Amino acid sequence: MAKKVNPLTNTQVKQAKPKDKIYKLSDGDGLQLRIMPNGSKQWLLDYFKPFTKKRTSLSLGAYPEVSIQEARKKRVASRELLAKDIDPKEYKNDQHREQLLFVVVK
């Protein structure tokens, strides 16, 4: 059975200090905050790919540009895609490619 994790608070995220190695703080349901030794903070979503069942991570953005509330909204949107057997990382890449094609065509 999965371990129950208490959601992070905004204070915990702000006060997370860098250490000698990369470490993660878990918010629950696959959402994590990765803290780098240089002090930068990155939101990640860990999930299993729909068809291959391999574990992978999706970057949701850097803190503080992406707040904890925004990261949670992105987690929910990604989980909805996974429920439809759509890989959120592939979906994000496809959307980015379409935007680039649209800009080039103009």
What confidence score (pLDDT) does residue 8 get?
A: 93
User: Confidence band (pLDDT; 50, 70, 90) for 9?
Assistant: very high
On the question of pLDDT at 11 being above 90, the answer is yes
What confidence score (pLDDT) does residue 104 get?
A: 66
On the question of pLDDT at 102 being above 90, the answer is no
28-58 pLDDT per residue, tens: 999 999 999 999 999 999 999 988 999 999 9
In the chain, what are the domains?
10-105 (3.30.160.390)
Helix (H) or strand (E) holding 104: helix 88-105
pTM over 0.95: no
Rounded CA separation 77/99 (Å): 19
50-92 pLDDT per residue, tens: 889 999 999 999 999 999 999 999 999 999 999 999 999 999 9
What confidence score (pLDDT) does residue 49 get?
A: 92
What's the mean pLDDT in 4-22? Answer: 92
Rounded CA separation 94/46 (Å): 19
| Dihedral sign of CA atoms 27, 33, 34, 37 in order | negative
Could you tell me if 44 and 24 are in contact, meaning their C-beta atoms sit under 8 angstroms apart? yes
Rounded CA separation 6/81 (Å): 24
